[in-house]
Structure formats: structure tokens, C-alpha cells
Structure 1
Amino acid sequence: MSARTATVAQPVWAQLRRRVPGAPADLTLHVLPLAEVAAWAESATDCLSAEELARARGIQETSARELFVVSRVALRHVLGHRLGCAPGDVPVTHDPRTGAPHEVHGRAGAVAGRRGDAGPELGWSPALGQIRPVHFSISRTAGLVAVVTAQREVGVDVERLQSEVETDVLLDILHPADRARLAGLRGRRRRVAVTRAWVRVEALVKGWRTGLARGPASINVGTRSRATYGPDWTVGDVRTTARENARLAVAWRTDPAPQG
């Protein structure tokens, strides 16, 4: 991985956008199949920081390293578009204690009236106002990377369909109401339902920036495809394809109801 790696054409970002039902206009989700974008990401690693490059070199397993590189390169390109700067100039930082990503700040004049394939310009939200910091969340699983950005706290999780053993482990740590609801299912239906519940939990804790320091057993995700969680949060399913064999969820801070 170096700046001298041969250049490969960027993906068509509009084709990687994934609709999030009910999401606010400032939220964008991109889902990247590893097989389609790995070569491009490998050719574009000059946008990564020295720390990111060192982390990538330290990952021994090939597919895990590719997932990491794709996730970081794609994140920098999406954020660079929204912020009006080069991907390498995006100030990606994380909380040293929790690992949660810090929001990033752009330049209002650089993006005024601009739109593009990677997502909307920094726009306006009834609750959040004109120009706000951009929040982001990334998730990766075998063969897939998901990147979500928004002008509000946001979280995303994507997971390949869990095995029977993984399903048993996750079922034991879900909320008691979700465990009771899912325990009677069998076979693939059970694996799908537990995976779906788990990605909703993960999306929420990423949005809250707590990670799994907040126990999954305290988070009842229920059955609705899009549901409010408390007064401030919404979590919803995002459609995946049979080929992806995965489940995907996004959580975001909800605009407050109009007053008066």
C-alpha cells in the first residue's frame, strides 16, 4: 500500500447508496461490496493517515485487511465530499476511552449549493439548523462495508447471517423480552431473526457512543421495521439482498416534534 499504487477508477457512489426508510434528508448510507471496490481502495490508500496505514499493515488476514482498507478509504471519500475537502484532509479521530468516532467539521462556503454522488451537501434540518458537524459510523462484515453519515448522531451495523452457534451466543445476551420472542424459532428463521435483533442493538449503541459498555440485555429492540427508542432515537432495518446474506440496521437521533 503506497501512493505509487496504480490508480483504479472510483466506484460510482450513487450506485452504492442504500435507502434508509424514514431517515432524515441529511442522512446517507453507502453499502460497498468488497469484491467490487477492494482494488480501487487499495489504489487510493494515499488518503489514509500514517496511523491507519500502520493498522492496515498489522492485519495479517487478507480479507480482514481488505475490509479495513475499504472502510477507511470509503469513509474518507464520503466525508471529504460532504465537508468540501480532500479525503486525506478529513480529520478522522476517535475517543481514546470508548473508541467512538468524533464528529467532523467542514467549511460552509466550500459546499454551499453543491450536490454529488457521495451524498447531499451540508444542509438544513428543522431541529439541527443550517450548518452542523457531520457524524459518521462504519461497520464491516465478511464481504461488505457500510458507511453512514449525517448531521446528527448516527450508528450503523451490518452482519452476515449468524451461524447456529453464534445465534445461540447472541440470543443469551439480548433483552429478556427479545429472547422470549425469538427462543421458539428454529433453523434459518431463528438465525435471521436473531441477527436482525443484534444489528439493531449494535446500531443503537454506536449511535449512543457507548459501544457494548451498555449491556445488550437492557435494550429491547422489538419487532417493528422502524421504531422509536425513547424520546430521542429511531432505529430501522435496511433492505439487503439474498446474495449479501446479511442484516443491516441504522439508528439516528430523531428530530424533536414541532412545538406549539
Structure 2
Amino acid sequence: MRAPGVPECDIHVWLLHLDQAWASPDQLSPDEQARARRYQCRHARHSFVQTRAALRQVLGHCLGLPPLAIGLEEGHHGKPRLAASLPRLEFNVSHSGQLALIALGRTPLGVDLEHLDRPLDWRELAPACCHPDELPVLRRMPDPDGHRQFLRLWTLREAYVKGTGEGLSQSPADIRLEYGDAAWRVAGDAGWHLHALTLPGGYVGSLAATMKNPVVRLKALTATPW
């Protein structure tokens, strides 16, 4: 079955500003509410509630179902997916700082973002997070260019492994990224295509999909988005 309202060539990426709270735990399933209560960090709990409620709202709109009627289950390596009884629709979620992304389409996909203000020593992390072929150029970059490029490479990799469902089963340093013809790609995997997203200031984000040239539509999610 196909999801209504989602064109074959489109990938919709919804932007959710987490500092504009509009959802509450009662908009989640009982299992999701229990998961939210297990978060010790208040910000992490808030991010989960807002993002999961937003995901249910977007999926419900696309599928023509009440948000709480959306069946979600875990697939390969724990990647969330729709229940098999529902129309075919792929989705992926990421959040960092005060922003969350929800990507939806009718092709396998993954999305990731990072806040540029995230405190990290990118020079120390680079050997474990980047392919050896990428290190010489990255190390020659001054701050903040190197910091931004490191996070760009990180989000490209994360979007890719989230899309494939491999997650932490694959070492980031084993994935070699290439850039050419104004596009990023994964060396040795022609089936996946990478896209750098243009996001609000202060954020770096990337999308991975099995579709070569999707129409990526960025949308802002509010309490009354349609």
C-alpha cells in the first residue's frame, strides 16, 4: 500500500523547534510514556516527548489515521518503522539542541543533525569518527571551519547508517565519504545518496536516501501545521 499525500519522488523534512512546546505525554502510547519517564535528564525527556508526538502527528496526517492509531515497531538493529499492516512509508528522526528533524518518504532514508555549539574536541575525535583518507584535509582546517566540516561529515555518516539500519554495528571510520559533482556519496555503495541540508543558523544536517535526486521539501511543524 502507498501512503496518501506523499509523492513518489518527494522526501518531506519537518523542522520542529523544541523550545516551542506544544505536545504533552498523553499524546504518546503507554509504552512511549513509560520510556519518557525513564529519562533522567529533563531536556532529553522533553525532546523525546515533543519529537515522538510530532512524528505521530505527521504520520497520522500522511496516512489519514489518528496519531495514536499509528502502529510503530522496531526493525533491523532497533530502527523504528511502521507496523507491517500500514501503508509503505519510511521515516527517520533526529534532534540536537533546540531543533528536531522528521524525514518522511517512500524510499529508505536516514536523517541526522548537530548543533554547532555542541562542545567537543573535533581534532581528538576525528581519527575514530572519520575515514583515514579524510583526516589530512580535515586536520589542516582552522577552527571553526574544521569544527563545521567535522560535524558535516558526522551527520552524513549518521544519516547513512541510520538509513541502512546498521547503526552502531558499523564503525564510522570504516565509511569513506567522497565529494564530487556537487554531491556527497559513500565510497563503494552506489545504492545510497547523500544530501547536505540547509538548516537554520547554528545547525548542520544531512539526509541519506536510496533515491538519487529526490525533491526535498523542508517544512516547519507547528501546533496547527496543515
Amino acid aligned to 1:102: R
TM superposition outliers: structure 1 runs of 4+ over 6 Å: none
Change (3 A) 1:212 1:181: farther
Say if 2:110 and 2:208, in contact at 8 Å, map to a contact too. yes
Q: CA RMSD in A?
A: 2.3
Which of residues 20, 29, 33 is equivalent to 2:17? 33
Check the 8 A contact 1:159/1:199 in 2, yes or no.
Answer: yes
TM-score (normalizing by structure 1) = 0.71
Q: TM-score, normalised by structure 2?
A: 0.81
Distance 2:73 2:123 in 1: 35
Match of 2:135 in 1: 179
Native 8 Å contact 1:146 1:156 kept in 2: yes
How many correspondences in the alignment?
Answer: 203
Partner of 1:209: 165
**RCO higher in structure (CA 8 A, sep ≥6):** 2
Asked if structure 2 preserves the Cα contact closer than 8 Å seen for 1:240 and 1:247, the reply is yes
SS of match in other structure, 2:120: helix
Alignment deviations for residues 85-129 of structure 1 (CA, whole Å, 9 cap, x no partner): 01001111113x71112244576xxxxxxxxxxxxxxxxxxxxxx
Q: Deviations over 1:216-238 (max 9, x none)?
A: 11212234553343221111100
Provide structure 1 residue ranges, at least 5 long, that are not aligned to the other structure: 1-23, 108-131
Of the candidates 61, 73, 77, which is equivalent to residue 57 of structure 2? 77
Alignment of 1:102-117 (within 5 A): 102-104=81-83
Q: Secondary structure at the match of 2:107?
A: coil
In the TM superposition, 1:145-160 aligns within 5 A as 145-160=100-115
Identical-residue share of aligned pairs (%): 29
Question: Higher Cα Rg: structure 1 or 2?
Answer: 1
Please say if residues 91 and 110 of structure 2, whose CA atoms lie closer than 8 Å, have aligned partners that are also in contact.
yes
Letter in 2 for 1:28: H
2: CA distance between counterparts of 1:163 and 1:144? 13
Q: Which residue of 2 aligns with 1:218?
A: 174
Question: Tell me, which stretches of 5 or more residues in structure 2 are unaligned?
Answer: 1-7, 214-226
**TM-fit CA distance, 1:75:** 0.6
Partner of 1:253: 210
